[in-house]
Amino acid sequence: MSAENGKNGIPDTPAGPRPEPLRFYGTTWVDHDHGYSARRAGLAVGSLAVAAAACFVLRVAYQGLQIADIGSFVSLLMIVMFAICSALAFRHTWSGFTSRPDPDRQASMRGLLAIGFVGSLLAYFFRTFTEAPGEKLHREEYEKARAEYEKRTTRRSGNPSKKRRGK
């Protein structure tokens, strides 16, 4: 049973496929309404602030290693590890905005993405300048589903078996 709006039994929601909600945006990405622009601006600032805070925490951890005097090789190794993991996480996150990631690959990269979280935050920050992260992918999928639904629901008029044959 569908919910009715009280006007002649017309359903509140249109029939057919529904858009998939995006994290932090819900379905506002469809029509860019209900504070969509403010959310994009706020999330851009927020993701940059969290990335800056994460860099500060990494700096404190690096200073802890220096105080522990474990040697320059291990300190260099830590810097290189975070740089490489952040670059890989950036690339993986960025490509995830335009195509669905493979679940097996996603599971295998979970540790790397956790280490390179700064790269993921920066990818999210830069993507918010053009769209809600993942909006293009979701819009393509939604429009394709709507087109397929429209194609399935358009019906021919009349019964084809009663079609008049030209003599």
Q: What is the predicted pLDDT for the residue at 24?
A: 85
pLDDT computed for residue 161 by the predictor:
67
- Determine the pLDDT at residue 157: 55
pLDDT at residue 1, rounded to an integer? 46
- Which pLDDT value is given to residue 70? 86
Query: Is the Cβ–Cβ distance between 99 and 137 less than 8 Å?
Result: yes
- Positions in the chain whose pLDDT score sits under 50: 1-2, 4
> pTM score, two decimals?
0.76
> Nearest-CA neighbor of 121 among 19, 14, 16, 48?
48
3-state secondary structure of 131: coil
The count of other CB atoms within 10 Å of the CB of residue 146 is 15
